[in-house]
Amino acid sequence: MMYLIATLKIKPGSLPEIREAVMDCIEGTRNEPGNILYDLHQSITDENTLVFVEKWKDRAALDNHFTEPHFLAWREVGSQYFLSRTIEIIDPKTVDEL
């Protein structure tokens, strides 16, 4: 199992455009083989921070996601609204538990 956490800082006032642009990607991704969870959240303390939380069967499924037309279209349209982006890929097999 793999997790991906993507944190996006977006341009103020761009949320309506982002919502419109991302819906096809969310729907398409949820139907991809190997996708277990794909959600987009908005910070409650900063309306210009969005966080994707993704859960994938394995790294191959995640890597395939990056080639899907709905993902590529979202990335092209959405990126014009990003101020910054941070991607974290988490493999539970390599994370130490406390």
Q: pLDDT tens digits for 60-93?
A: 999 999 999 999 999 999 999 999 999 999 988 8
The domain of 7 spans 2-92
In a domain, 27, yes or no: yes
Q: pLDDT tens digits for 8-27?
A: 999 999 999 999 999 999 99
Number of structural domains found in the chain: 1
Q: What is the pTM of this model?
A: 0.89
In a domain, 33, yes or no: yes
In a domain, 97, yes or no: no
In a domain, 98, yes or no: no
CA dist 26 and 71 (Å) reads 9
CATH number for position 23: 3.30.70.100
In a domain, 32, yes or no: yes
